[in-house]
Chains A and B, each alone.
Chain A
């Protein structure tokens, strides 16, 4: 049996790269490939699925799938192995967002970008999950980089946990609490929306905080914004997240840097309107199925109001969302994954 091993810098329970590695594993196992998944750092809350990267001992001819979203010394040593490499580029957060908040992660990101050309040149096949990421990968030295989108599994969105409490329009924001997601702007926009349009509106921030200090900073920004009915939920399990999508009236994302933005697809899956800032990979993923803001909190507030109240607009956005979702059907992406793996093994 041909073995395909995946390697990531870090694996955690609410991490998109981890989720994609597990989705690829299910697909690869179904296609008859062996192998295992490894991470340089494993969050103890992740009970299964990953082994330490130090334990990876590939046989000659085994394929190494390196998922690149941050630098790790252990990932670099894989380049010295004689095995074929399939590089999957998930993008790297620019360090400028992190220097003041997490020096260690900022270093990982800064070095990660410096080291990207070495990974790009070494890869037999290089793939990126969005056009935005593929452009960076080509510029880094993989001119034939191809796009293999996120493997989106609707089946994982079926199970419903406990819905958020309360009444009033629910604005949902999904994504790690990290500086590039610009939760400060989210809070400004939501406070404006609540003040001018919907005093009873609720805001749910779902996402793992960078660390305890950053969580305190966000709590402070919530207070300073003057908004009420704000829940900073932290990382939540998929069934509870599904319930939040089902309950929400609109998804809001004002992130400045996204390599893909899976919550856009999740919103489309649940027929939820999206208000977003047209940054990085997001316009390429959402296309004409989102309402794009110019960043002015008042304009964002008015777009939220439209997205919540205008039934015909909501229906049109839901229809367009379903069309966008067709581009990311798991059968289509699965075929692209299998083709990339087969090409890397030739």
Chain B
């Protein structure tokens, strides 16, 4: 019998043996790895999030025989699409403008830090 404490080492040895024989490939990234946001979101990701666009397919009823309710909910979205599009575009406008401002500030901070590290005189001091 393989004792539970010995199972991992046994499995590693078997995996290595079969990998050498070409049965197993090298372990790759998981299919969800890229979608998990560890640390600060990238600028590209923030740009994607900035655009507000609801997905009507996510609107549904969980009630038993909720098909008609799902249809009504999606129908309301269609009826209100002019209003909703306006709300979405106003929010997106704000998000994009804010994101651009933040990115501009980041670039200015970077330039100032580079200047400071080189020991240059800060612009505008008159010295």
User: B-contacting residues of A (Cβ < 8 Å)?
Assistant: 43-45, 96-97, 99-101, 103, 179, 182-185, 187-188, 192, 195-196, 211-213, 221, 224-225, 288-303, 306, 310, 312-313, 316-317, 320
Contact = CB atoms under 8 A, between A and B. Distances in A.
A306 B57 contact: no
B118 interface: no
B15 A187 contact: no
Interface string B8-36: 10111011001100011001101111011
Contacts, number: 111
A306 B2 contact: yes
Contact of B31 (A224, A294, A317): A224
Given A184-B30, A212-B58, A298-B19, A291 B7 contact: yes
Interface in B73-125: none
B1 A291 contact: no
A44 B3 CA distance: 47
Interface residues of B, number: 38
Contact of B4 (A192, A288, A298): A288
A192 B24 contact: yes
Interface in B48-79: 49, 55, 57-58, 60-64, 66
Contact of A213 (B36, B57, B61): B57
Contacts of A103: 49
Contact of B32 (A179, A291, A297, A306): A179
B37 A43 contact: no
A212 B60 contact: yes
A317 B57 contact: no
A298 B18 contact: yes
Contact of A296 (B23, B27, B37): B27
A45 B2 contact: no
Closest 4 CB pairs of A and B: A312-B1, A302-B11, A184-B31, A298-B15
Majority DSSP secondary structure for residues of A touching B? helix
A213 B35 CA distance: 14
9 contacts: A45-B62, A99-B41, A187-B31, A213-B57, A289-B4, A291-B4, A298-B18, A299-B12, A317-B4
B27 A298 contact: yes
Contact of B11 (A99, A188, A195, A293): A293
B1 A184 contact: no
Nearest to A317: B4
Contacts of A293: 8, 11
Given A310-B2, A312-B1, A302 B14 contact: yes
Given A45-B63, A99-B37, 11 more contacts: A103-B49, A212-B57, A213-B55, A221-B32, A224-B31, A290-B4, A300-B11, A301-B24, A302-B14, A306-B11, A312-B2
Nearest to A183: B32
A298 B41 CA distance: 31
B43 to A, nearest CB: 15
A96 B32 CA distance: 12
A267 to B, nearest CB: 14
Contact of B36 (A179, A211, A294, A297): A179
Contacts of B36: 96-97, 100, 179
A144 B7 CA distance: 38
A182 B30 contact: yes
Contacts of B7: 291, 303, 306, 313
Given A45-B64, A306-B10, A312-B1, A301 B37 contact: no
A35 to B, nearest CB: 27
B2 A313 contact: yes
B37 to A, nearest CB: 5
Contact of B1 (A288, A289, A290, A310): A310
Contacts of A296: 12, 15, 27
A313 B24 contact: no
